[in-house]
Amino acid sequence: MSGPNQRTVSREITLKGVGLHSGEAASLTFRTAEPGTGIRFRRTDLPGSPEVAADLDHVAGTELGTTLAQGETKVMTVEHVLAALGALEIDNALLDVSGPEVPIRDGSFQDYAAALVDARPVEQAAEARVITVSEPVAVTGADGQSYVATCSDRLRVSASIDFEHRAIGRQFGSFVVDEAAFRTELAPARTFGFKADADVLRARGLARGASLENTVVLDERGVMNDGLRFEDEFLRHKVGDLLGDLALLGSRIRAHIVAERPSHKGNIALAVALRAHQRRTSREPVLDAARIMQFLPHRYPMLLVDRITELVEGKRIVGIKNVTVNEPFFQGHYPGHPIMPGVLIIEAMAQVGGLLLMKELSAADNKVVYFMTMDNVKFRRPVVPGDTLVFEVEVLQLRRSTCKMRGRGLVEGKVAAEAEFMASIVDA
């Protein structure tokens, strides 16, 4: 049974304003994107308009907001627009940003959600990625944060916050997250801050664009604004921030998430744990071993891929290798202290990458993939019996029968090895 289709926007919409922390003028334009693209920010104010993918691997900061970076290119305070994209189930979009930060608008999520509705979301001819939870996933932070994600057929967030300020105190709420509920129950909730912190934050280059027009500000007496949109507006905004950070998974989520004192740092830790859980428990292969052998010439003991769990032709692939103590290489490699040879980890990664070219292979007889170059190889941690290696390989450049790729091998969500490859399809 197939799942929901991916979605993108069908027309451009632009929002303008200032950055909450930078105080600089900013604009944001939503543009359509091809299936499998995901959400990408493009800094149109910088030479060459460099892009930053909105995913967990590009998180560069979580202080008073979530910052993404690719090299020297940064985009700050992305969580509000990502929350709207996630709640409206927009899987693919290119977000042009002029300035270092997404415009804060009124400090809530509602302008982004309204703009996305106006941008007329449309379905695409590709199945959406969905993360489900088959067993509890728990994360505990150093500052009292805790999260538990459990099985559910829809996304629900139950959260508690606790502030000493009398206008906030302890608040709890539980929210089903779909487009209608998000727009009415969560999207209007604004970000908040404390007047006593303003001078210190601005001296550090933060909150320079904050005002009563885009932030609920509290002093020792209470709320300085005209009023609140909800009695528990502070809690609702924290739930919206959590949704925005979880959108960095690049997947729709079906789970009940219970969060105590959520923070951006804790939200990202939960997202990383959910990603690791999904990789570990995914049992529905796109390609099983029998299908893999139709495209790769390798056989035991050199076939090092057990299954492919995700494949976007010409773009990216995810493959699994279950490492057991019965692997033949353990007999002679560090006897008594079994460690998977690094060259075989890279070989397994390359085999997964080779399957990215299977469309080209299936169109021609007696063709095989040869790897021509290997660069930037790094080993981050040993791989031992009992580990499940998850290989993620993406295309950097594809020209006819030659492909440049970047790959990573992960164990429990942590990078074990990474490398870049150049591969070519040649006669067998």
Q: Which of 21, 58, 256, 264 is catalytic?
A: 264
Class (C level, CATH) for 131-281: alpha beta
Sign of CA dihedral 105, 111, 115, 118: negative
Q: Is 135 helix (H, G, I), strand (E, B) or coil?
A: coil
Strands 252-260 and 156-163: parallel
Q: Which region among 149-158, 243-252, 407-416 has the lowest average model confidence (pLDDT)? A: 407-416
In this predicted structure, what is the pLDDT of residue 364? Answer: 53
Burial (CB < 10 A; 0-12, 13-18, 19+), residue 196, is exposed
pLDDT exceeds 80 at position 266: yes
Q: What is the pLDDT of residue 108?
A: 97
Confidence at residue 271, expressed as pLDDT on a 0 to 100 scale = 95
Of residues 189, 6, 191, the one with CA closest to residue 88: 6
Tell me, yes or no, if 58 is annotated catalytic: no
All residues at 6 or more sequence positions from 99 whose CB lies less than 8 Å from its CB, including other chains: 19, 22, 24, 25, 26, 27, 45
CATH number of 5-125: 3.30.230.20
Residues of the chain within CATH 3.10.129.10 domain(s) are: 289-427
Assess whether pLDDT exceeds 80 at residue 339.
yes
Q: What is the pLDDT of residue 366?
A: 67
**Which residues on neighbouring strands pair with residue 303, listed in sequence order?**
none
Retrieve residue 97's tokens. 């940003």
In DSSP terms, 410 is beta-bridged to 390, 415
Of the candidate ranges 148-157, 307-316, 344-353, the one whose mean pLDDT is the lowest: 307-316
Give pLDDT, residue 282: 67
Token pair recorded at residue 419: 């490398």
Is the pLDDT score of 181 beyond 80?
A: yes
What is the residue type of 37?
A: T
Q: For residue range 30-78, list pLDDT tens digits in order.
A: 999 999 899 999 999 999 999 999 999 899 999 999 999 999 999 999 9
388 vs 84, which has greater pLDDT? 84
CB 271 within 8 A of CB 56: yes
Give the distance from CA 209 to its chain's centroid: 27
Q: Which two tokens stand for residue 190?
A: 């604004």
Over residues 115-121, the mean pLDDT reads 97
Nearest residue to 392 via CA among 421, 354, 353: 353
Q: How buried is residue 237: exposed, middle or buried, by Cβ count under 10 Å (0-12/13-18/19+)?
A: buried
Q: Where in the chain are all domains bearing CATH 3.30.230.20? A: 5-125
The 10s digit of each residue's pLDDT in 160-175 is 999 999 999 999 999 9
Quick one: pLDDT at residue 356?
82
Strands 51-53 and 367-379: unpaired
* CATH superfamily placement of domain 289-427: Hotdog Thioesterase (3.10.129.10)
What's residue 1's pLDDT? 47
Neighbouring-strand partners of residue 16:
27
Rounded CA separation 392/394 (Å): 7
Q: Is 287 helix (H, G, I), strand (E, B) or coil?
A: strand
Q: What's the burial of 231, exposed, middle or buried (CB within 10 Å: 0-12/13-18/19+)? A: exposed
Q: Of the given ranges (42-51, 172-181, 246-255, 360-369), which has the lowest mean pLDDT? A: 360-369
CA 241 to chain centre: 14
Instruction: Give the contacts of 227 (CB within 8 A, at least 6 positions apart).
Output: none
Does pLDDT of 368 surpass 90? no
**Cα 93 from Cα 340, distance rounded (Å):** 39
Cβ neighbors of 177 (< 8 A, separation 6 or more) are: 87, 154, 155, 156, 157, 186, 243
pLDDT of the residue at 361? 57
**Euclidean distance between CA atoms 89 and 128, whole angstroms:** 9
- The DSSP symbol for 101 reads B
Q: What is the pLDDT of residue 283?
A: 58
- Helix (H, G, I), strand (E, B), or coil: what is residue 333? coil
Question: Of the candidates 307, 309, 354, 304, which has an alpha carbon nearest to the alpha carbon of residue 324?
Answer: 304
* Residue 365: band (very low, low, confident or very high) from pLDDT cuts 50, 70, 90: low
pLDDT, tens only, 193-214: 999 998 899 998 888 999 999 9
Q: Which of 201-205, 361-365, 401-405 has the lowest mean pLDDT?
A: 361-365
Residues of the chain above pLDDT 70, percent: 96
Q: For residue 132, give the 3-state DSSP assignment.
A: strand
Mean pLDDT value across the chain: 91
C-alpha angle 210/215/219, rounded to 5°? 95
* Residue 21 a catalytic site member: no
With both helix axes pointing from N to C terminus, report the angle between 233-246 and 264-281 in degrees, rounded to the nearest 10.
40
Q: Is the pLDDT of residue 104 over 90?
A: yes
